[in-house]
Amino acid sequence: MRSRPAVGVGLAGLALAAVSHPVVATGIARLLGEAPRRALDGERLLALALQHLALAGTGFALVALLGLGLGILATRRAGAAFRPAIDGLAAGAQAVPPVVVVALALPVLGFGGPPTLLALIAYGVMPALRGTAGALEAVSREAKAAAEAMGMTRRQILFSVELPLAAPGIVETLRTALVLAVATAAVGALAGASTLGTPIVAGLQNQNTVPMLQGAAATAALAFLGDAALLGLAAILRINRP
């Protein structure tokens, strides 16, 4: 029963992937009244999707590490004093649109993946940090007190009690970070990165709806499929929750 949301989201992702197929996208463009024009072939679309996935996946991994690390730090006694500064920096980074981050980073980092990764990190750390901190703070004091009474150290309590109990909540917040990573990676096309944003930009320049539709649908498909995977993981963690 708990896996139904993941299945539904996954099916939506597959449907969007089908929309990105050259034949389907061309047919939709015709229905919209567009004259038939050249579509992006399937091989090129798949290559862009793999490059998009690699870039978004790298950014998501960095966001997850930073968000988890800062979230844990913010909930420890030693890091409590730094929490306002951590929250402020993360909020400030997310307040700047990804396009602006990419534009500002271009003179320093050059074209391609690096400025896009910076935008991914800046935009995704905030939800990962706050979600991790909130999930850890939601762990009952009774569970922590019982572990302390058993003689566990603070590190043991963190890894054996707090993180396992907070895991479903942390996975839920990582869903947001993943969707943001996939969406922001498309912006990397403006910096010369080869992503699914590339056909969108090219379609805008050439006033060709078909590649725009393909790029947008394929990007959404990756976001939905990634979200479905994390939904499934969250369901498994709830079933196995101690």
Tokens 């969406």 identify what position? 183
Q: In a structure prediction context, what are the per-residue pLDDT tens digits for the chain, which is 242 residues long? A: 556 777 888 898 999 999 999 999 888 888 887 776 788 888 899 999 999 999 999 999 999 999 898 888 888 887 767 777 777 776 666 666 667 777 776 767 767 778 888 888 888 888 888 888 888 888 888 888 888 888 888 888 888 888 888 888 888 888 888 988 998 888 888 887 889 999 998 888 888 889 999 999 999 999 999 989 888 877 776 655 55
Instruction: Report the half-sphere exposure of 142 (CA within 13 A, side-chain side).
Output: 0
What one-letter code names the amino acid at 164? Answer: P
Q: How far is residue 87's CA from residue 83's CA, in Å, rounded to a whole number?
A: 6
Tokens 């030693």 identify what position? 78
- Confidence at residue 188, expressed as pLDDT on a 0 to 100 scale: 83
- Confidence at residue 3, expressed as pLDDT on a 0 to 100 scale: 60
- Confidence at residue 123, expressed as pLDDT on a 0 to 100 scale: 80
Q: How far is residue 169's CA from residue 236's CA, in Å, rounded to a whole number?
A: 12
- Helices 42-74 and 209-239 cross at an angle (nearest 10°) of 40
- Confidence at residue 216, expressed as pLDDT on a 0 to 100 scale: 92
Query: In sequence order, what DSSP letters do the residues of the chain get, joined into one string?
Result: -TTHHHHHHHHHHHHHHHHTSHHHHHHHHHHTTPPP-PPPPHHHHHHHHHHHHHHHHHHHHHHHHHHHHHHHHHTSTTTGGGHHHHHHHHHHHHHS-HHHHHHHHHHHH-SSHHHHHHHHHHHHHHHHHHHHHHHHHTS-HHHHHHHHHTT--HHHHIIIIIHHHHHHHHHHHHHHHHHHHHHHHHHGGGGT--STHHHHHHHHHHT-HHHHHHHHHHHHHHHHHHHHHHHHHHHHHHHT--
- Confidence at residue 95, expressed as pLDDT on a 0 to 100 scale: 67
Q: How far is residue 2's CA from residue 20's CA, in Å, rounded to a whole number?
A: 29
Residue extents of the structural domains in the chain: 4-239
- Confidence at residue 15, expressed as pLDDT on a 0 to 100 scale: 93
Q: How far is residue 23's CA from residue 52's CA, in Å, rounded to a whole number?
A: 22
The CATH class, in words, for 4-239 is mainly alpha
Find the Cα–Cα–Cα–Cα dihedral 125, 130, 131, 132, rounded to 10°: 90
